Amino acid sequence: MAAASKAYEENGQVEKKAISDDAQSYAEGEMLIKPRFNFWTLLGYQLMVMASWSNYLITVGVSVDVGGPVGFLYGTLVVGFFQQVTVIALAELASSWPHPGGPMVWMIKLAPERYGPMLAYSMGWINVLAYASPFASAGFSSTQVLSALITHIHGYEWSSWQICLVYWGFAVACVPITFRPSWMPWWSTAALVCLLSTFIVTIGLWSSHIQPQTASFVFTTFINNTGWRSNGFVFVLSMVQTTYAMSGLEAATHMAFETKNPRRTIPLVLVSSVAISIVICFSFAILLLYALGPMDQLVNSSLGAIYLQLYVNAAGETGGLAFATFVMLSLNLFCGTQLLAAGARVVWTLARMGMVPYSRSFRRVDAKSGSPTNATILMLILSMLFGLLYIASETAWNAIASCVVAAFQLAYMAPMIALVLRGRSVLPPRYFNLDKVPFAGYAVYIIAIGWGSLIFTVSMFPVYLPVDAFNMNYCVVVFGVCGLVLLPYWLLSARYKVNRETVESDLMNILH
């Protein structure tokens, strides 16, 4: 007993020293990052990251050319099915190894030991890109609608650098909540209320003053204004836009340290959120197609976005723009905050594993708030740098936006492929277990990998032909530039600093 007591005191001293020195121990995360989310608050968080119906407001501008109503409506069902299969696979991985690092930690556990750190490094930074891109997209969506309102009222013409400044203002506005993790559960509840209430009000507003399209147009019309000859390929191409509206499937995983009973709560949230999003998106897709009204009015709209014209059609120019501004600013603020928080946890995990320059600083957790403050700031800076691309050209900005779907799908596929190659026997005991249904395990992963490969590949294609500098898909270029930046750092520094023991310690403590 005396020896045990002495050992306990020594361990306590080691833990205190680890915290004061910002050491890479689970004790730091356990004591400073506390479980705060339950099922309902985490569900609100996850649904807001996906943003479901509100993303359709943004993507409909492309969908009216790429597939039209058939691609938009039936694509929702096809994408919904395969994203549901994908999230079931992700739910099992999250139940096996719940960790804020998400896919990068799963790669550490599933890839061969020789290649695990390098693959985890790659997946970690791809995951950062996957969250930084939609965060920037949400910011520019808010900037677009705000600038349209001001232009309408004052006739003011915006320059590219002013658009960038407004975007930066939006980005900074998302920070305060992320610095106070104790506020995030109620913030997620408020986000869910906002998401549903604006959805209901939009339905009522559009239905009150509508020049509806015919049922034949909504359910049977296929539109191909892309320049691609194959309508079948165009239908597949249209699904990339729909997948964008159902991205961020694993976001709740990055709150693993902040969730009560994460092995059970997180997989239930992941599966439930996609099922709810499918219902909301499909019902909204029908309303949206009926509400389109005369197509020439939308195509020739001076507002720059179809959804702005739809609000104007329903409530008049001033009232419609004002309400659209309120809807997009509020939803994007909620969504942007959640995206920033998720990305910050990935950066924090990368730093804890020694895969970020100045890792010692970025792995720190604020003792008072329990927030990975420095990691959040780094994530914010990376996202704000995207604004500079808009100053360079709108085409350069579109290159970043086009990477959202590809980055997420790649982050999802990599650990699934590793698991299929290693065999399911490597999985530990877990709450969410696909082996309870015969043959379900491999079937789900193979379908999810096939779907992810298809969408990843198609997302690299340009939407319109002939291709020029403006409509070119620069997704490959973005991944190439990221590789040129990240590979030298891995070869020269990161691979010598990898601390995979941090992950093992985290998992040992959270699982036991």
User: What is the maximum alpha-carbon separation in the chain?
Assistant: 84
pLDDT tens track for 378-429? 999 988 887 777 666 666 566 666 688 899 999 999 999 999 999 999 999 9
Cα 275 from Cα 129, distance rounded (Å): 26
Residue 78 sits at the vertex; the CA angle it makes with 75 and 82, to the nearest 5 degrees, is 135
The two three-digit tokens of residue 186, written as one number: 């109620």
Quickly tell me which residue has 């902040």 as its tokens: 258
Cα 455 from Cα 227, distance rounded (Å): 20
Cα 53 from Cα 47, distance rounded (Å): 10
Q: Residue 474: CB partners within 8 Å, gap ≥ 6?
A: 395, 396, 398, 399, 402
Quickly tell me which residue has 């190659």 as its tokens: 421
The predicted pLDDT at position 148 comes to 79
In the predicted model, what is the mean pLDDT of residues 324-346? Answer: 92
SS3 sequence of 60-93: HHHHCCEEHHHHHHHHHHHHHHHHHHHHHHHHHH
The predicted pLDDT at position 246 comes to 86
Instruction: Write the single-letter amino acid at 310.
Output: L
Is there a cis peptide before residue 466, judged by omega within 30 degrees of 0?
Answer: yes
Assess whether pLDDT exceeds 80 at residue 459. yes
Residue 273's pLDDT band (boundaries 50, 70, 90)? very high
Assess whether pLDDT exceeds 50 at residue 18. no
Cα 301 from Cα 308, distance rounded (Å): 9
Assess whether pLDDT exceeds 70 at residue 203. yes
Assess whether pLDDT exceeds 50 at residue 17. no
**DSSP code of residue 159:** P
The predicted pLDDT at position 507 comes to 66
The predicted pLDDT at position 14 comes to 38
Provide the b/e sequence for 458-480 (b: ≥16 CB within 10 Å).
Answer: bbbbbbbeeeeeeebbbbeebbe
Cα 120 from Cα 111, distance rounded (Å): 9
Assess whether pLDDT exceeds 70 at residue 140. yes
pLDDT tens track for 242-268? 898 888 999 999 999 999 999 999 999
375 close to 362: Cβ distance less than 8 angstroms: yes
- pLDDT higher for 240 or 209? 240
Q: Work out the number of other CB atoms within 10 angstroms of the CB of residue 265.
A: 26
Assess whether pLDDT exceeds 90 at residue 376. yes
Assess whether pLDDT exceeds 90 at residue 306. no
321 close to 152: Cβ distance less than 8 angstroms: yes
Q: Reduced to 3 states, what is the DSSP secondary structure of residue 223? A: strand
For residue 67, what are the β-bridge partners?
223
In the predicted model, what is the mean pLDDT of residues 211-240? Answer: 89
Q: Residue 479: CB partners within 8 Å, gap ≥ 6?
A: 403, 406
Assess whether pLDDT exceeds 80 at residue 329. yes
- pLDDT higher for 402 or 339? 339
126 close to 411: Cβ distance less than 8 angstroms: yes
Nearest residue to 431 via CA among 264, 272, 262 = 264
Assess whether pLDDT exceeds 50 at residue 189. yes
- pLDDT higher for 5 or 346? 346
- pLDDT higher for 474 or 125? 125
The predicted pLDDT at position 23 comes to 38
How big is the chain by its Cα radius of gyration, in Å? 23
The predicted pLDDT at position 2 comes to 47
* Residue 159 backbone dihedrals phi, psi, to 5 degrees: -90, 165
405 close to 189: Cβ distance less than 8 angstroms: no
Q: What is the DSSP string of 300-332?
A: T-TTSSHHHHHHHHHH-HHHHHHHHHHHHHHHH
Cα 119 from Cα 509, distance rounded (Å): 24
Cα 392 from Cα 494, distance rounded (Å): 31
The predicted pLDDT at position 32 comes to 61
Assess whether pLDDT exceeds 60 at residue 22. no
Half-sphere exposure of 155 (CA within 13 A, CB side): 0
Q: Mean pLDDT, the chain, as a whole number?
A: 84
Nearest residue to 111 via CA among 372, 456, 500 = 500
How many percent of the chain have pLDDT more than 90? 44
Length of the chain (residues): 512
For residue 224, what are the β-bridge partners?
66
In the predicted model, what is the mean pLDDT of residues 292-312? Answer: 73
The predicted pLDDT at position 465 comes to 87
The predicted pLDDT at position 386 comes to 79
pLDDT tens track for 353-369? 888 988 888 988 888 88
The predicted pLDDT at position 397 comes to 60
Q: How far is CA 419 from CA 110, 199, 303, 314, in A?
A: 6, 39, 48, 51
Cα 111 from Cα 420, distance rounded (Å): 11
Residue 213's pLDDT band (boundaries 50, 70, 90)? confident
Helix-helix angle 403-422:116-154, to 10 degrees: 160
